[in-house]
Amino acid sequence: MTSTTSKYVIDSHSWIEYFRGSQTGEKAGKLLESGGCYTPTIVIAELSDWHVRQQRDFSKRLDFITASSTVLGLSSATASQAGKIKNEVRQKYNNNFGIADAIIVAIALEIGAKVATGYYHFKPLKNVEYLG
């Protein structure tokens, strides 16, 4: 990792790859080991959904997430900022950047962190540590 920041918001993609044990997941694991990692509650919702679709138990992994990172909720100010971010990114990069993605970016901006992700549509953003 070439980033100078020590704070990372771990997105759903990075957590899923971590649990799968992929190369991207190994990179996410190194960030988790270094500390200073955060997981937005929207990511927990996405991970819960993924686990249900995969017919896997999420409870132990949720315990691991909460032990390995600080879980952050969504304030009304950050939610409002996320709406703006979503539209700005869609217009600038002509991609399908969603509101959950924008919430993750807004939270990262709010705490001065980078988003750790392997999702391609985050790649052009400045506050991203692309793990893919």
129 DSSP β-pair partners: 116
pTM higher than the cut 0.85: yes
* pLDDT-derived band at 3, boundaries 50, 70, 90: very low
Q: Are 119 and 128 in contact (CB under 8 A)?
A: no
Report the candidate in 103, 130, 96, 85 with the shortest Cα–Cα distance to residue 44.
103
As a whole number, mean pLDDT of residues 23-27 equals 96
What span, in angstroms and rounded, lies between the C-alpha atoms of 103 and 40? Answer: 8
* pLDDT-derived band at 80, boundaries 50, 70, 90: very high
Cα→Cα distances 11→4, 45, 67, 71, 91, Å: 19, 11, 16, 12, 22
The domains of the chain, with CATH numbers, are: 8-130 (3.40.50.1010)
What percentage of the chain has pLDDT greater than the value 70?
96
Residue 6 pLDDT: 85
